[in-house]
Structure 1
Amino acid sequence: MKNNIILLCFSFFLTIGSYAQKGYKEKIKSMKIAHITQALDLTTNEAQKFWPVYNEHEQSMEKLRREINTIHRKNQQQSIESLDEETANNIVTKYISLEEQKFAARQKMMKELRPILTSKKIVLLIKAERDFHRRLMQELKHRRRKPR
């Protein structure tokens, strides 16, 4: 029953968010917070320590995602065939560096969470994030198929 209510709220907020372009990221973020909160069932003490660590991680990941998206946009704008080898090598090197930074940020968060949460709750966090992302992608895919 709880999952149905959460799914209903998720669908509702996603629908609203798509109509109002401003604030859609905030709505998705709110839904993610609600999903993680429900999945982890944090105590008050755990929540007070968990959310600052998690929010810092999310901010660093968002910064890295923006940098990766910038690389992708630049590659779409110019013909890949027209790239010289040195430029292509620089792009690959930058991309590898950003992916390594994402991995390091994830690792750092996990290490910081170990004294705060049980290992079981950390595994639940990993699952909750994956489930949320999967639901979000399914909803977006579903919305794209719908005729307007």
Structure 2
Amino acid sequence: MKKISLILSILFAVQFGTAQKNSREKIKAYKIAFFTEQLQLSSDEATKFWPVYNKYDTQMHDLKRKERQIFRTFKSQSEQEQSETTAKELLNEYRETEQKQLSTKLAMITDLKKVISSHKILLLFRAEYEFHKKLMQRLRQKSKE
């Protein structure tokens, strides 16, 4: 009986991991198509743009993960554990993470100025906002189905 439940657990974990990976790949493909259309990138621009943007996107993803971890740590602590010292440490970590996000974004702007126009960089920020908005709408719609 234990072997059967272990095998089922492993199969479920593998299936869940594969489904999650496929959905991330679909989202990434949708993002690439959406941004390319919104920014109207030429093939030359796209070749130079995507490595810069992907580096930025990976860094921001890691920083946002760290930010979520800070809040999870705070939330997981009981009220007795939430001393002012601990709160100050977490707040300092949060502040540093926010500063890193800003410096990462500013570095990306500097790098992108060498690749695309300032107009297209502004379009990128609007496209990021619109992409996240549409993605959330799709997720809400799928959860209703």
Q: Normalized against structure 1, the TM-score is what?
A: 0.78
**How far apart are the structure 2 equivalents of 1:81 and 1:138?**
39
- 1:47 aligned residue: 46
Between the two proteins, the alignment pairs up a number of residues equal to: 128
Deviations 1:27-61, CA, capped at 9 Å, x for gaps: 21121111101111111221111111101101111
- 1:25 aligned residue: 24
Superposed CA RMSD in Å reads 1.8
Matched residue type, 2:100:
Q
**How far apart are the structure 2 equivalents of 1:28 and 1:133?**
10
> Are residues 143 and 76 of structure 1, via their aligned partners in 2, closer, same or farther at CA, if it must alter by over 3 Å?
farther
- 1:94 aligned residue: 93
Q: Normalized against structure 2, the TM-score is what?
A: 0.80
Matched residue type, 2:32:
I
**How far apart are the structure 2 equivalents of 1:22 and 1:117?**
31
Unaligned runs of 5+ in 1: 1-18
**How far apart are the structure 1 equivalents of 2:79 and 2:122?**
40
Unaligned runs of 5+ in 2: 1-17
- 1:64 aligned residue: 63
**How far apart are the structure 1 equivalents of 2:75 and 2:22?**
27
Give the superposition deviation at 1:24. 2.0
- 8 Å CA contact 2:74–2:82 kept in 1: the answer is no
**How far apart are the structure 2 equivalents of 1:80 and 1:26?**
40
Give the superposition deviation at 1:80. 4.5
- Which deviates further from its counterpart, 72-81 or 113-122? 72-81
- How many percent of aligned residue pairs carry the same amino acid? 39
**How far apart are the structure 2 equivalents of 1:90 and 1:42?**
43
- 1:139 aligned residue: 138
- 1:38 aligned residue: 37
- Stretches of 4+ moved more than 3 A in 1? none
Matched residue type, 2:114:
P
